[in-house]
Amino acid sequence: MVQQPNDPNDPNAPAQQPSNAAPPQREVIVTGNGAGGGGMGAMVGILIVVVVVLIIGGFLLFGNVGGGSDDSGLIDGDVNIEVPDGGDGGDGGDGGDGSDGADGGDGADGDDGDAG
């Protein structure tokens, strides 16, 4: 059965809106931190940039670690520092002067005189 348009004179017919009427309006409630959520993405981006800069700086300073030519990098990976041996010790000091000789003993007693 084909639906017939409502008779405008029928009191029981539902009300019709004109064809150019605006659609019903809905209230939109925005919650949350829509724009504030971008802070996390910015921090992750900065972290990635810092890591890349550290990696590139490491290659510039130390060269291709684990391979490549020895001339790569500003700092050579194999740093050999030779420390010379210490010199000989100095000569010992001179010996002390000898002690003085002992004093001579007392002289022997004289002979007894001749009998009178």
Q: Are 59 and 73 in contact (CB under 8 A)?
A: yes
User: How far apart (Å, rounded) are the C-alpha atoms in residues 76 and 67?
Assistant: 12
pLDDT class of 114 with cuts at 50, 70, 90 = confident
Specify the pLDDT at position 23.
73
Half-sphere exposure of 33 (CA within 13 A, CB side): 5
Residues in contact with 70: Cβ distance below 8 Å, sequence separation at least 6, in sequence order: 76, 77, 78
Does the pTM surpass 0.85? The reply is no
First and final C-alpha spacing in the chain: 200
Q: What mean pLDDT is predicted for residues 89-105?
A: 81
Specify the pLDDT at position 33.
59
27-66 pLDDT, tens digit each: 877 666 555 556 677 888 899 999 999 988 888 877 665 5
pLDDT class of 73 with cuts at 50, 70, 90 = low
Specify the pLDDT at position 106.
78
Specify the pLDDT at position 54.
92
Specify the pLDDT at position 84.
82
